[in-house]
Amino acid sequence: MTANQTGRDAVESYLNQGLRGVWAPICKSVQVKAGAPFGTKIAGENLVLWRDADGKVRCVEDFCPHRGAKLSLGEVQNGNVACRYHGVTVNGEGTIVRVPAMPECALEGRRPLKSFEATECAGAVFVYLPSADQPEAPEFRPPEEFVSDEWQAFACMTHWDCSYRVSLDNAADPMHASYLHADSFTLAYGSKQDTMRLERTDTGFTIERVNQRGVNFDWTDVVVDPGMVYFRLDIPYPDGAGPGGPFRIIGFAVAIDENTHYSFFWRCRKVQGLAAESWRFLYRAFLEDRHWHVLEQDRVMLESIPADARKREMLYQHDIGVSRLRQMMVRKAKEHLKAEAAQLEQQSA
């Protein structure tokens, strides 16, 4: 095996575990209830989340520093999380604040757990997953649709049994809609042949069909910076879907481990006031089922792709978005791994 292959393998296995150096949505806000810890797994790390005395979400490794039981099986006490096994209590910085079974225990005050920055936005909890080259969380800069008064955005989260990377590839490939979703309510229109065009943006790139716009899912805006990776796309709505123009999706694909991930989709529409109310009603009553039908088509197709398909796949012109996204991720991974290697070298010197 050549040094190059070793390098490529290291980058691939690093990326397969999940993106680092990014803010990622990891659950819905409602899943972190007051008074009860919530356990999850993201990018291979078991995490526990809870709300402190001010209601702020805190996040540390889901591992009791005493003998390793899951803190998420415990309870929230005075804004900290207490292990159910022997009561050892940890705060949001990962510091042991109490060992109730042993007076003046020397473990108190030690900080054995990693903690993660967490914030809430548009109905979800986002956590910063540090990388070696960016251990501190950068400014949290969500998509404008999440914070603008002009937009309604509501979150949906689903679990798919395939790599998050396959989901990101799928989003960078608008052409699949004319085939995979051809029987659907909104994605049945337009031509089945085209050429794709890619344009750089300040935060990533746009991939679009050359000869069709506003007819089907015809373009994707892929954002790889700053500190977040997500995609934005529009699905044209027919007149019956009320005011507000197209249905916009903001999507994130977040690794659980190398074979499973959470797909987050924010359903967005540019509507305010009464129109916003009627859109929410219409969505819940009629449109949501149809959207799930489309998402299920994606899920079944993506889960059918073998984990090692990349070794045999044969890309063509329509995959320029997929290729560009992969290049950008590989570039980031190389920077992270280089910083990691430099740190290890420094530690061993």
Q: Give the interface with Fe ion as residue ranges (CB under 5 A).
A: 298
Output the CA–CA distances (angstroms, integers) from residue 125 to 23, 43, 56, 83, 230, in the order listed: 10, 15, 10, 23, 15
The verdict on 64 binding ligand FES (CB under 6 A) reads yes
Given 67, 159, 213, 331, the residue binding ligand FES (CB under 6 A): 67
Question: 298 contacts which partner out of Fe ion, ligand FES, none, CB within 5 to 8 A by kind?
Answer: Fe ion
Angle between the N-to-C axes of helices 320-348 and 3-17, in degrees from 0 to 180, rounded to the nearest 10: 100
Query: Would you give the end-to-end CA distance of the chain in angstroms?
Result: 28
Question: 69 contacts which partner out of ligand FES, Fe ion, none, CB within 5 to 8 A by kind?
Answer: ligand FES
The verdict on 28 binding ligand FES (CB under 6 A) reads no
Backbone angles phi, psi at 117, to 5 degrees: -65, 135
The verdict on 85 binding ligand FES (CB under 6 A) reads yes
Interatomic CA distance for residues 78 and 236, integer angstroms? 49
- Of 74 and 251, nearer to ligand FES (C-beta) is 74
Kindly state the helix (H) or strand (E) to which residue 77 belongs, with its residue range.
strand 75-77
The verdict on 110 binding ligand FES (CB under 6 A) reads no
Interatomic CA distance for residues 249 and 291, integer angstroms? 11
- Of 87 and 138, nearer to ligand FES (C-beta) is 87
Interatomic CA distance for residues 308 and 164, integer angstroms? 14
Helices and strands, counts by H and E, the chain: 7, 18
The verdict on 228 binding ligand FES (CB under 6 A) reads no
- Of 102 and 300, nearer to ligand FES (C-beta) is 102
Question: 66 contacts which partner out of ligand FES, Fe ion, none, CB within 5 to 8 A by kind?
Answer: ligand FES
Question: 122 contacts which partner out of Fe ion, ligand FES, none, CB within 5 to 8 A by kind?
Answer: none
- Of 59 and 124, nearer to ligand FES (C-beta) is 59
Go through the chain and tell me how many residues it has.
349
**Least distance to ligand FES, CB of residue 89, Å:** 9
- Of 14 and 185, nearer to Fe ion (C-beta) is 185
The answer for residues whose C-beta is within 8 angstroms of residue 308's C-beta and 6 or more apart is none
Output the CA–CA distances (angstroms, integers) from residue 196 to 2, 176, 209, 336, in the order listed: 35, 12, 5, 31
Q: CA torsion, points 17, 21, 25, 30, in degrees to nearest 10?
A: 110
- Of 27 and 64, nearer to ligand FES (C-beta) is 64
Question: 88 contacts which partner out of Fe ion, ligand FES, none, CB within 5 to 8 A by kind?
Answer: ligand FES
Interatomic CA distance for residues 40 and 256, integer angstroms? 9
- Of 72 and 186, nearer to ligand FES (C-beta) is 72
Question: 113 contacts which partner out of ligand FES, Fe ion, none, CB within 5 to 8 A by kind?
Answer: none
How many positions of this chain bind ligand FES (CB under 6 A)?
A: 9
Please choose, out of 44-52, 59-67, 229-237, 252-260, the segment that lies near ligand FES by the rule CB under 6 A: 59-67
- Of 81 and 168, nearer to ligand FES (C-beta) is 81
Q: Residue with CB nearest Fe ion? A: 298
Interatomic CA distance for residues 151 and 276, integer angstroms? 8
**Least distance to ligand FES, CB of residue 5, Å:** 43
Q: Which amino acid is at 132?
A: A
* SS3 category, 131: strand
Interatomic CA distance for residues 138 and 130, integer angstroms? 10
Contact residues for ligand FES (CB under 6 A)? 64, 66-67, 69, 83, 85-88
